[in-house]
Amino acid sequence: MIINNSLPINDGFSMPAEFGRHRATILIWPVRPGSWTYNAKYAQQAFSFMANELSKHETVYLLTNKRDFEDVKERFATNNNIKVLQIESDDSWARDTAPTFLKNVSGELRAVNWQFNAWGGSFDGLYDDYENDNRLAGEFCRQINVDYYDATPFVLEGGSIHSDGEGTIITTEACLLSEGRNPKLSKDEITQKLINYLGAKKVIWLPNGIYNDETNEHVDNVCAFIAPAEVVLAWTDDKNNPQYALSKACLDVLENSTDARGRKFTVHKLPIPKKTVCITQFDLDGFVFEAGEAERVVGERLAASYVNFYFANDIILLPQFGGENQDSDKLALDIISKLCPNREVVPVDAINLIVGGGNIHCVTQQIPE
């Protein structure tokens, strides 16, 4: 049921932290040839690995188009914890197109349906036809029978927000103040939208995200909560790297802010890959772009970051980029393992995700327990 006559904050609903317990994770089966190379062969291998790992700890809802529904059902037929649902989509970025889920103190579940316009609509969106993606959140809620608030026409993607589960939201100015989202709203008005629909008390505005992030610098690629008042921040010590100034500006904000409960932030620096991850000729040869779709070029710098990990029940899925970044991969694995000692950190070969423009967090969406 669509809830149009109230707001989550008035009904006592708020967005839990991702590091809390989950009922399930949403994934969307990758097929789009302009995002996933070589008929999505390699991306489907990565998604299969993630789905199977996640299913050991929580239910996985795997969404797929009608064309692929029977094939995907057959692929996962022996795994009873992977539920394949037929819901049409334009791409596989579940973080940005699936609902944002909320809870109240009694544990009742509701969701929010945001407006989706492919990260910028006619101003700087990444593809022209996104109607299936825009309808996906409402259709998913109907299929699993969860009531949802309709926040449209407010444009927001799930990757642009993180919650500590205790009233604090972090986001980036680069994204939510971009011309392609809600240009008629002021920063204060957008802040109030986040408070109303996420049941929040305070919004921390970081200035930037990861350099060359085509989502206009989503927060989930640069900074993430690992506990209340405790975050990891993508970092480099190389002042010649364009990421340095962006991360330093975020650090300055975090060090001079308090959360909704008045606590100072503990900030852990998580180095970005030492070797810049770029589109190769092999990658480019595997894409098939359609009219109106943002194309890629050889040598294009990709927004690779280890902060784009995903919390699930008892585990963390952590991106790994391989090749010349094996040492960086190991360092990230060591840091996250020490920061989250009660979880198994599962390394995921993410190179075939990042070529599509996103990463592990971008293709997952949690449903809280």
Supply the residues annotated as catalytic.
362
CB 2 within 8 A of CB 341: no
Cα distance from N-terminal residue to C-terminal residue, the chain: 20
Q: Is 241 exposed, middle or buried, given 0-12, 13-18 or 19+ CB atoms closer than 10 A?
A: middle
And the tokens for 201?
């008390």
The two tokens of residue 258 are 């308090």
Tokens coding 63:
């969404």
Torsion angle in degrees (nearest 10) through CA of 125, 43, 350, 136: 50
